Structure 1
Amino acid sequence: MAAFVMAMASGLGNGLLTVNVTNMAGYIGVYTYEVFLLVAVYVAFNATANLLLVKARVQFGIIPCMHVLLGGVIAAQVLQIAIPSFGLTVLARAMSGIAAGGLTTLTLHNLFQAIPLRHRPAAIVIGFTLPQLAVPVARLIPLDAIAPGEWQGLHLIELALALAAWAIINLVPLPPTERQKAFEPLDALTVSLAVPGMMLLCIVLAEGRFFWWSDTPWIGWALTAALPLLWAVLQIEDRRKRPLLQVHWYANRDIFIFALIGVVFRIALTEQTYAAVGLLSLGGLTSDQLHPLFAMVLIAMIAGVAVTAVVARPHRLFPMSIAAALLIAAGSWIDSNATTQTRPQQLFLSQSLLGFGSILFLGTAIQYGLSRVIERGPPYLVSFVVLFSTTQNLGGLAGSALLGTIQMRRTRFHAERLAENIAMGHGELDARLAQSANLYHDILIDPVQQTAQGNAVFGNALQLQANILAFNDTFRVVTWIALAAAIFLSALIVSKKFFPMKPSTHEARA
């Protein structure tokens, strides 16, 4: 129970924000792109926090660190509830992002106390996959519980979870750990460059499709500033005697492939969080009407946790990743035949496949990465945690950006094609417009107004159909991405078996 509370405290708040991001803007008096800025802030601070958190736990101990982090979260949430403002909401998201990494570690520690040592691999899988359940759980929380009072319910839930986590670490103490000096002066330089670099990159990915990539100069300037900052971080770390990041390790072929497939899988999995929900929203369905769908997804993910905990092993990364990719491809392909009549019940199977596949990949990837850390030693732990959290966080933002961009472009394309096809037969067009106008015959007296309203109804129907076709295209893109990942991994298995490669000089160093 303690582990579950820690897992929900680490991810439920961000899950509630992510799944309700389009609903929040009007309630709190900001534009949609400003709400997406909150997502970018959380991701940026969550991805970079682990640069310091691992060393902080070594030098000060995990419990003192979590007292400070949870204290910051509680203070930020109390301020936001007492003095609501967008600036304080940004602060609260940043604090939540920083604390999430530590709460995931506490989830693991609590599981280690409850599960025998011989089942430690299963505990690792469960510990890292439990926070993933936060998104479907967030989908099951009614809007009425979080929306009133300018979404103060969301902050109250986060505050309650932070207080519960604070109580647990005091009531269920963990065994003491050895402490030793870990921080060095150059760590501050690395972090001071990494945070703004990651922040700028996340803002570009979160906001690019709203302002459009090639139409807004500041997007280009932000990206131009972000890349040199992150490049400088890698250059500094590569030249340090005791670095935070083992940059040369990232050049290892297996680690590079691990990071690559991590990003690809995370991009593919945004089919569920962006495309499927967006499709159903077109039909006028609210979040509360999606509860049965995400109850099924939650059940599938729990089943995935159980199966992965039993069968996942580091040497099975590629075979299990192939299985996960095929499940994701199958689910996306099923969704690609959606129509205006598609409802949540018709997505039960496809979305359950995606939920199960996501856990299947994640659990195995975690075991594989940690096995490589054990081979190298504790100095590589920070590098792995940062690599994994960065690929998952940036992959999620990149996936939403990619699918959102494709959907917007394809909507315009399909709208133009539909209009052209209808216009080719003027008689059919006139008949449809007349039929739409007749809908208002008993409501409006003026024939001109009847025609105007009929044209508007017809235009909305055409735009709806174009959006549906565009979402089907995004589902097909995800299908091909997942299939390409499966083929790539299959080729790697074959090449490793029949054409083993000698490690390069750089890999030997790694």
Structure 2
Amino acid sequence: MTAATADALPAPQASPAPERADLGAWLAVAAGSLGALMATLDISIVNSSLPTIQGEIGASSTEGTWIATSYLVAEIVIIPLSAWLERVLGLRTFLLIATTLFIAFSMMCGVSTNLTMMILGRAGQGFTGGALIPTAMTIIATRLPPSQQPIGTAMFGVTAILGPVLGPLVGGWLTENISWHYAFFINLPVGAVLISLLIVGLPHQKAQLSQFREADWLGIAGLALGLGGLTVVLEEGQREQWFESALIIKLTGVAILGFLLLLAGQIFARRPVIRLQLLLDRQFGSVALMGMVLGMVLYGTSYAIPQFVAVVANYNALQAGHVVLLAGIPSLILMPFTPLLMKYIDIRIAVTFGMLVMAYSCWNDSDLTALSVGGAFTVGQLLRGVGTIFVMLFLNQAAIRSVPPAFAGDASGLFNAARNIGGSVGLAMLATIQDQRLWFHSRRLEETLSANSLAVQDWVAGTARSMGGTSAAIRSIESNVQLQALVMTYNDIFWLLALGILIVTPLVLFLRPLPKGAPMAAAH
């Protein structure tokens, strides 16, 4: 599951909203919710069909993580920029541009024939689709009167949860019944409806292009270079033998340069693209760190589970989507009760409960065997859904409440950027861990199969008679060794995710109780 962000909410440009919103306002809210649904859907729509896509474009399983990672990295960059771009271009113009480009990049993904083309298309989707997520809350805050904003917020919350939950299922169904290409082509008709709603529901606002001069260009460039370079280093380091590779050395330099530029923006820019000084706050720094680990778990499990059931259990994309869907059921059930949860449960108790439940869910998935099928993930997925709603709900509120109201938008953007950074770094690390542990377990298993062992010789002789030769028997041994090593590798991955959650759980001690009786802050 993923979440969206409401960055700094700009003041309405027109007269104050009436006590009851008109049809145009509700059409604008529908447009914002549809845009958020489309963007969050596409974060996870490729997960269940990833094995099929990898096969058709000639990508390995570790290279395939880039199809998910590139979207997240691009989204990290655009989320903090959304509020500024709204002011520069005007909300309707900004959303029309973002939606049009999102459709174009979706078509690019749909016609991709190689990994490079797919990654470029996914990065473009992330950069433009990420803009559709925080602006949904902006529309609610500026087009609806206070008395009707809870309805709009509920609409947004449902779509934001439905997107990641339905993504693997929709992608799997399209892959199995039509083609994986339509997991991207589906954005064309949906995008056309969204553009129509934006034109009808949102008034035109004059662009303020002069604000381009005030932008934190050092921070923007640093964010892209730093996070992009770091992710590539983590993703490709294992295959390139780390610093024995000139490419990895150069990319490390790019990442360091990027982070230095980001730091320079903190010093010289009047309004930095991300206010890193907020991390110095004890509560907010703890929330951001827990958010990073949360991102690792959310995106890591949504990637690892479809891969496992596809390779080990021979599930098709639709079957894998059903397994991923389970994690969203508890979230949808608990969503209507979130105001009561916020009112009566102490934040430290709620976050501790959620973190421990998520840790147990990952540990529960660490005893897989070569005979495991999708049902082995049922308990873990349902528990993960329960833990996610508690952790995400309360950490979102803690992030905003831990800073002055003037910086609430910056805090929300930084928290969600931290979550996505955790997701992208987590996916890159999982690819590295998968390579290393697969090699390790394969070698250890091979060491137990001595050619001089009578048991091995008898098995080879018996298998050779049934399979038509010694070569076929040896290939069968190799295949079984790889299968067992792969299962052990996935067990290691889930165990490490559980350990990561437990390591950061004590940070809940730095959290402060939320104000009693305060309304929920506008964030997701």
TM-score by structure 2 length? Answer: 0.80
Inter-CA distance 480–50: structure 2 relative to 1 (3 Å threshold): closer
* Residues 32 and 139 in structure 2, CA contact (< 8 A), matched pair in contact too: yes
Map of 2:425 onto structure 1: 398
Does the alignment pair 1:301 with 2:331? Answer: yes
How many Å separate the matches in 1 of 2:214 and 2:251? 28
- Percent of counterpart pairs with the same letter? 19
More helix by share: 1
Query: What's the offset of the Cα at 1:362?
Result: 1.6
The more displaced of 98-107 and 452-461 is: 98-107
* Residues 6 and 103 in structure 1, CA contact (< 8 A), matched pair in contact too: yes
How many Å separate the matches in 1 of 2:345 and 2:263? 29
Q: Deviations over 1:484-510 (max 9, x none)?
A: 232x135546xx89xxxxxxxxxxxxx
The more displaced of 109-118 and 326-335 is: 109-118
Map 1:171-186 to 2 at 5 A.
171-173=200-202, 182-186=211-215
Inter-CA distance 229–85: structure 2 relative to 1 (3 Å threshold): same
SS of residue in 2 equivalent to 1:284: coil
* Residues 52 and 180 in structure 2, CA contact (< 8 A), matched pair in contact too: no
How many Å separate the matches in 2 of 1:311 and 1:47? 29
How many Å separate the matches in 2 of 1:83 and 1:120? 41
How many Å separate the matches in 2 of 1:451 and 1:327? 49
Q: Which amino acid aligns with 1:7?
A: A
How many Å separate the matches in 2 of 1:209 and 1:136? 32
Map of 1:370 onto structure 2: 400
Does the alignment pair 1:489 with 2:507? Answer: yes
How many Å separate the matches in 1 of 2:367 and 2:63? 33
Map 1:58-73 to 2 at 5 A.
58-73=87-102
Q: Deviations over 1:390-432 (max 9, x none)?
A: 2122211222233333333233332233233343981221222
How many Å separate the matches in 2 of 1:102 and 1:70? 9
Query: What's the offset of the Cα at 1:215?
Result: 5.3
Structure with higher RCO (Cα < 8 A, 6+ apart): 2
Map of 1:277 onto structure 2: 306
Does the alignment pair 1:455 with 2:485? Answer: no
Does the alignment pair 1:287 with 2:317? Answer: yes
Aligned residue pairs, count: 483
Query: What's the offset of the Cα at 1:350?
Result: 0.8
Q: Deviations over 1:356-381 (max 9, x none)?
A: 322321222222223345x241xx25
Does the alignment pair 1:353 with 2:383? Answer: yes
* Residues 327 and 353 in structure 1, CA contact (< 8 A), matched pair in contact too: yes
* Residues 9 and 165 in structure 1, CA contact (< 8 A), matched pair in contact too: no
TM-score by structure 1 length? Answer: 0.82
How many Å separate the matches in 2 of 1:182 and 1:160? 34
Map of 1:187 onto structure 2: 216
How many Å separate the matches in 1 of 2:327 and 2:441? 31
Map of 2:518 onto structure 1: none
Query: What's the offset of the Cα at 1:260?
Result: 0.9
How many Å separate the matches in 2 of 1:492 and 1:74? 43
Inter-CA distance 25–492: structure 2 relative to 1 (3 Å threshold): same
Alignment root-mean-square deviation, CA: 3.6
Map 1:317-356 to 2 at 5 A.
317-356=347-386
* Residues 362 and 494 in structure 2, CA contact (< 8 A), matched pair in contact too: yes
Map of 2:254 onto structure 1: 225
Inter-CA distance 310–10: structure 2 relative to 1 (3 Å threshold): farther
How many Å separate the matches in 2 of 1:81 and 1:269? 25
The more displaced of 400-409 and 224-233 is: 400-409
Does the alignment pair 1:257 with 2:286? Answer: yes
Gaps of 5+ in 1: 445-449, 498-510
Gaps of 5+ in 2: 1-29, 514-524
How many Å separate the matches in 2 of 1:387 and 1:142? 30
How many Å separate the matches in 2 of 1:278 and 1:72? 30
Query: What's the offset of the Cα at 1:59?
Result: 4.0
Inter-CA distance 203–304: structure 2 relative to 1 (3 Å threshold): farther
* Residues 69 and 95 in structure 1, CA contact (< 8 A), matched pair in contact too: no
SS of residue in 1 equivalent to 2:418: helix
SS of residue in 2 equivalent to 1:312: helix
How many Å separate the matches in 1 of 2:315 and 2:101? 37
How many Å separate the matches in 2 of 1:292 and 1:41? 24
